[in-house]
Structure 1
């Protein structure tokens, strides 16, 4: 195992464990909300917002994780009809497009969103957390997707990825 595979595996393992923790917190939060509503007769407003933030983080980190594992949704009807040389070219083109999307939309746009919300000191409704901290997952995941795309392109050229 070379250095890039080692780092790739460690990053994926970290993402898996972090998403398990976030999902566990989400489950506990929802269970607490149900418990408090039906057994205590009161509802806490912060549980809904916390669950929403957990779902945001799970979704965006999950997209980065699936991109890294190359398990994201794809329509491969036409791709399967290509020969191996053209599959290699199309795979590299797809990775470049994913890289550009992650760079422009997720990293640049996400950093702009984080900066704006922190500069304007916007806080969440009930938890009173600066929204920039919640939105920071967007550029972070975009950066991960960019790194995964570079990793995949190098593996495509090294013929380590099954086309």
Structure 2
């Protein structure tokens, strides 16, 4: 079990690192796209029709990918009053229950998110020809990352190596 946890930690750390780089790249691209839209509209007096929609889709991906980093760092919003109040085996049981609920929720969201994404394949963005699959795929990609992080957190509790929210991994 400890070996699996170690491998999962390394794997999740790689995913979080990749997500962090992707987040920074997305911020840079959004900045360029929005600046181009503003430049064309106010300096050249000829607005680009696709910049606002592309920036919106990139922002969706930024939120999805950035939340994977927050999940890995355990910096998501959490109400820790009850798990922090209860110590010992009871506290571990509550943390494990929370992790299992997150795992179940993420598994369901990943499954239905892929269905949603594949159903959006035939639809395209209104201002340029990009299948909306690429936008809606942000949901299952993010929840797959959450699922892996939640499995790690559950194994942390089971192995007795749990961290509390906000602690660095």
Normalized against structure 2, the TM-score is what? Answer: 0.87
- Once the two structures are TM-superposed, the CA of residue 130 in structure 1 deviates from its matched residue by 0.5
Q: Which structure 2 residues correspond to residues 86-125 of structure 1 after superposition, within 5 A?
A: 86-105=90-109, 107-118=110-121, 121-125=122-126
- Between 1:17-26 and 1:66-75, the stretch displaced more is 66-75
Q: 2:40 aligns with which of 36, 40, 46?
A: 36
CA distance in 2, matches of 1:77, 1:154: 22
Aligned-CA RMSD value: 1.7
Match of 2:86 among 79, 82, 85: 82
- SS of residue matched to 1:88: helix
1:61 maps to what in 2?
65
Matched, 1:152 2:153: yes
Could you list the runs of 4 or more consecutive aligned residues of structure 1 that deviate by over 4 angstroms after TM superposition? Answer: none
Of structures 1 and 2, the one scoring higher in RCO (CA 8 A, sep 6+) is: 2
Secondary structure class of the residue paired with 2:78: coil
CA-CA distance at 1:129 after TM superposition: 0.3
C-alpha distance in 2, partners of 1:35/1:87? 55
Structure 1 residue ranges without an equivalent (≥5): none
Q: Take 1:79 and 1:6, find their aligned partners in 2: how far apart are those partners? A: 26
Unpaired runs of at least 5, structure 2: 165-169
The alignment covers a number of residue pairs equal to 160
Task: Report whether the alignment pairs 1:143 with 2:144.
Answer: yes
Provide the secondary structure at the position in 2 that maps to 1:162.
Answer: coil
